[in-house]
A = this chain, B = another copy of it.
């Protein structure tokens, strides 16, 4: 869990994913010799801050978004949201501007939100939740499990992955914008059009902590049923614990694939958390484990 903890602390809100990209490039460099298959990497010019790894002869691509929610400093320490963070008074935010490091608490005044800080912070400075990583026998708790855990899952998978594509995407929390061209590249270069979305979902009335990784049947978008049925069929034949989710709201990189000019099939598969989009996101270890197991099976059989 050291890897996950490290990643939860990296400052990389939507638009500033470069730090996460560099962390992952270094991780790959340091670890790929222990991987069953060495991947081909695509990144840099034409890829913005995204990163694609191609293993063997792929038929399916995993999308895990690098970015987190956060805030942008506006005028006079007013802050505006990046994505949809919780904004309760007292939440501690951190960042850095031209003067130095910043740490201060959220204050709500009327319908505006501020950071309580003794000087005026540079316009456009981004702020993220201060990390407080907690672990016990059953649970992991921290900000940004969404989606550093989805990234962690994909990286763990790399150790044994023989055939498949791993995509680290950007801007997922704030309107998207990378998955269209990443999907285009993959579809055109590798002929792959099956996607799994490695991301974190919600504990709800129908989805419980500790009952396994979630296969989402729909959220605000509806994936093609025949593809999702194929996945469920494989999952049922495996012995991996999983839960089925049905939501009418929420979305993921799957929505962006759906709306792109390429015929992607996609399915969201990830562990559930509560305290969503807060500094206290909490995930059951069993669900992290079943997520990895499920991805292993699916990447072999799909």
Contacts and interface: CB of A to CB of B under 8 A. Distances in A.
Interface of A: 14-16, 18, 46-49, 72-76, 80-82, 123-124, 126, 171, 174-178, 180-181, 183-184, 193, 204-206, 217-218, 220-226, 228, 244-248, 255, 258-263, 265
A46 B263 contact: yes
A177 B123 CA distance: 31
B72 A218 contact: yes
A176 B261 CA distance: 11
B261 A171 contact: no
A206 B75 contact: yes
B244 A124 contact: yes
Contacts of A204: 75
B18 A217 contact: no
A263 B218 contact: no
A263 to B, nearest CB: 5
A209 to B, nearest CB: 16
Given A180-B261, A246-B123, A261-B184, A75 B222 contact: no
A262 B183 CA distance: 10
B193 A46 contact: yes
A27 to B, nearest CB: 21
A263 B221 contact: no
A248 B111 CA distance: 13
B217 A181 contact: no
Contact of A48 (B220, B228, B263): B263
A124 B218 contact: yes
6 contacts: A46-B193, A48-B224, A74-B206, A81-B248, A124-B228, A180-B261
Given A74-B247, A124-B228, 14 more contacts: A48-B224, A72-B222, A72-B246, A74-B206, A74-B246, A74-B248, A123-B217, A123-B244, A123-B245, A124-B246, A171-B222, A174-B221, A177-B258, A178-B263
Contact of A15 (B81, B174, B224): B224
Contacts of A46: 193, 263
Contacts of A48: 224, 263, 265
A37 to B, nearest CB: 26
Contacts of A260: 180-181, 261
Given A224-B15, A259-B176, A80 B247 contact: yes
A204 B261 CA distance: 34
B49 A15 contact: no
Contacts of A247: 74, 80
